[in-house]
Amino acid sequence: MAGGEAKKPNAGGKKKEVKKETGLGLTNKKDENFGEWYSEVVVNGEMIEYYDISGCYILRPWTMSIWETMQEFFDAEIKKMKVKNCYFPLFVSSTVLEKEKDHIEGFAPEVAWVTRSGKSELEVPVAIRPTSETVMYPYYSKWIRGHRDLPLRLNQWCNVVRWEFSNPTPFIRSREFLWQEGHTAFATKDEADEEVLQILELYRRIYEEFLAIPVIKGKKSELEKFAGGLYTTSVEAYIPNTGRGVQGATSHCLGQNFAKMFEISFENEKGEKAMVWQNSWAYSTRTIGVMVMVHGDDKGLVLPPKVASVQVIVVPVPYKDANTQGIFDACTETVNTLSEAGIRAEADFRDNYSPGWKYSHWEMKGVPLRIEIGPKDLANNQVRAVRRDNSAKVDIPRASLVEQVKELLGNIQQNLFDVAKQKRDACVEIVKTWEEFIAALGKKKLILAPWCDEEEVEKDVKARTKGEMGAAKTLCSPFDQPELPEGTLCFASGKAAKKWTYWGRSY
């Protein structure tokens, strides 16, 4: 409980200092200076603290509890799918890392190396994992012998390091981040294909059901897929303020590329040697950054109830001659009643802050619902509830507290999703020609266009849209394809269009 014991303020007679009520609000507005607003929100909302190494951030408890809620869900779901957790070392030897030269090539500048211990140079430097294919697959080769060893489905929750040089952003692009990485091997491609989509559905649920963010499920282009794999599927989110798409999570079918590289083969039922089919999939703490960007407002964070570690904050509003102890007791009882019903509620009894300061503080931290209890509420045996998402106020009789709070939290969760979806949908623009495409890009739209699906054309679009803001690229071809009438032409090449694809600038 914030502030500890529910005691009447100044009970000891000594006058406590009431903190200055300044410096709580945000200095930047979301619509005016998005970048500065974002940094301010994650710091003032007590999610992140900046660190003295660029691109590295401290994840505070307010962040970790959100991560843990998603982790609990995802971990239980993959266990139902018979995925087992494991942990592989943080370090990679240069020999294995370079084994898959082809795909590592493009990533090489981001790999961080340990070259020294104390003052002496290591004989052989070791890399810090940027992802664990090369760490894990030599052991898959050892562990998989016969068809009875399959499927092999492992996952690990860990940190990875990618020494990025483009501008770091908390959660969205950091040099170290937390994720889960799943790595699975099957006897058949069909089994692998099926799992790719099962995992992608879990990622959709994390975004839509937990974080209240609409995402688009689809397939990445050849240019944008994971180069080491066969095909990549993803969930794509969109940030209306910047007009950028953001890859939310990826689920790859690796085909047999890594199996060949690492000699991961098995003896099938007919006694023949066969290569395994592999998948890999991941989501990271980037999810949390997307949540902040989509829902946050000029008062700070806005947390969806399903992931908020405090869903209801109870604030006593004592008044000069009022029955202060009575108000405090009502607050304690309210927290107890809600907690017993499984609602995450706390009271803020701190006596060195005014109620108004507390309102701003918990709004900054994004708590979905505030309950105020003052003399009038005490007299009427009610509480006043104030929603974080739309500031709506409602008086709730204490007799129906649990029911109504549950309903309100459900409504807030739904409303956050609905509003985010409306905003996203309002930014989708269907274009048919290059001129329309350029106009839509200038308006920061999420562009849906008929495309010939040729790599050279995507490269050409990138080159032609290169600028200060970054080039436009494909985000994904949605699985949910609108009808493509016969004779539709590619917006960029004028050739026959093969599919509808989302385009835009992205993170």
Does residue 474 touch ligand 87F according to CB under 6 A? Answer: no
- Per-residue contact track with ligand 87F, 217 to 256, x per CB under 6 A? ---------x-----------------------x-x----
Judged by CB under 6 A, the chain residues 321 through 340 that form the site for ligand 87F are none
Paired sense of beta strands 446-451 and 428-430, if any: parallel
Cβ at position 378, least distance to ligand 87F in Å: 55
177-206 mask for ligand 87F (x: CB under 6 A)?
Answer: ----x-------------------------
Q: Are 124 and 54 in contact (CB under 8 A)?
A: no
> What amino acid occupies position 456?
E
What is the nearest approach in angstroms of ligand 87F to the Cβ of residue 257?
A: 12
Angle of the 61-80 helix axis to the 189-205 helix axis, nearest 10:
150
Given strand 393-397, what is the order of strands in its sheet?
345-347, 312-316, 369-373, 382-387, 393-397
134-153 binders of ligand 87F (CB under 6 A): none
At its nearest, how many Å lie between ligand 87F and the CB of residue 33? 30
**Cα torsion 197, 198, 200, 205: sign:** positive
> DSSP alpha helices (H): ranges in 34-148?
34-44, 61-80, 94-97, 101-104, 133-143
Q: What x/- string results for residues 107 through 126 when contact with ligand 87F is judged by CB under 6 A?
A: x--xx---------------
| Nearest residue (CB) to ligand 87F, 162 versus 370 | 162
Q: Which is nearer to ligand 87F, 281 or 359 (CB)?
A: 281
Extract the tokens encoding 133. Answer: 């294919």
Cβ atoms of 208 and 304 within 8 Å: the answer is no
Binding piece for ligand 87F, criterion CB under 6 A, among 77-85, 276-284, 302-310, 377-385: 276-284
The three-state (H, E, C) secondary structure of 236-273, written as one string: EEEECCCCEEEEEEEEEEEECHHHHHHCCEEECCCCCE
Task: Report CA-CA distances (Å) from 470 to 107, 173, 446, 507.
Answer: 19, 15, 15, 9
Taking the C-alpha atoms of residue 273 and residue 146, their distance in angstroms, rounded to an integer, is 9
* Rounded least distance, CB 230 to ligand 87F, Å: 13
The residue count for binding ligand 87F (CB under 6 A) is 15
DSSP per-residue codes, 422-467: HHHHHHEEE--SHHHHHHHHHTT-EEEEEE---HHHHHHHHHHH-S
According to CB under 6 A, which residues from 80 to 109 bind ligand 87F? 104, 107
Taking Cα atoms as reference points, which of 13, 8, 30, 7 lies closest to residue 295?
30
Of 63 and 180, which CB lies nearer to ligand 87F in the complex structure?
A: 180
CA-wise closest residue to 298 among 44, 22, 20, 65: 44
C-alpha 343/C-alpha 341 separation (Å) is 6
By beta-carbon proximity to ligand 87F, the closer residue of 110 and 263 is 110
The answer to whether 130 contacts ligand 87F (rule: CB under 6 A) is yes
Nearer to ligand 87F, 3 or 138 (CB): 138
| Complex with ligand 87F: residue 281 or 502, whichever CB lies closer | 281
CB 109, min distance to ligand 87F, A = 8
Where are the extended beta strands (E) located within 162-260?
176-186, 216-219, 231-239, 244-255
Query: Minimal distance in Å, beta carbon 165 to ligand 87F?
Result: 12
- Contact region for ligand 87F (CB under 6 A) — 67-75, 280-288, 324-332, 395-403? 280-288
User: Which residue in 6, 37, 74, 162 binds ligand 87F (CB under 6 A)?
Assistant: 162
Q: Is it true that the peptide bond before 316 is cis, omega within 30 degrees of 0?
A: no
DSSP 8-state code for residue 385: E
Contacting range for ligand 87F; rule: CB under 6 A; set: 130-138, 297-305, 332-340, 372-380: 130-138
Structure tokens at 207: 């975004």
Q: Does 280 bind ligand 87F (CB under 6 A)?
A: yes
- Told to check if 279 binds ligand 87F by CB under 6 A, we report no
Q: Least distance in Å: CB of 338 to ligand 87F?
A: 39
Distance, CA of 348 to CA of 2 (rounded, Å): 5
User: Which range in 33-41, 75-83, 128-136, 395-403 contacts ligand 87F by CB under 6 A?
Assistant: 128-136
- 282 binds ligand 87F per the rule CB under 6 A: yes
Please report, as ranges, the residues that interact with ligand 87F according to CB under 6 A. Answer: 104, 107, 110-111, 130-131, 133, 162, 181, 226, 250, 252, 280-282
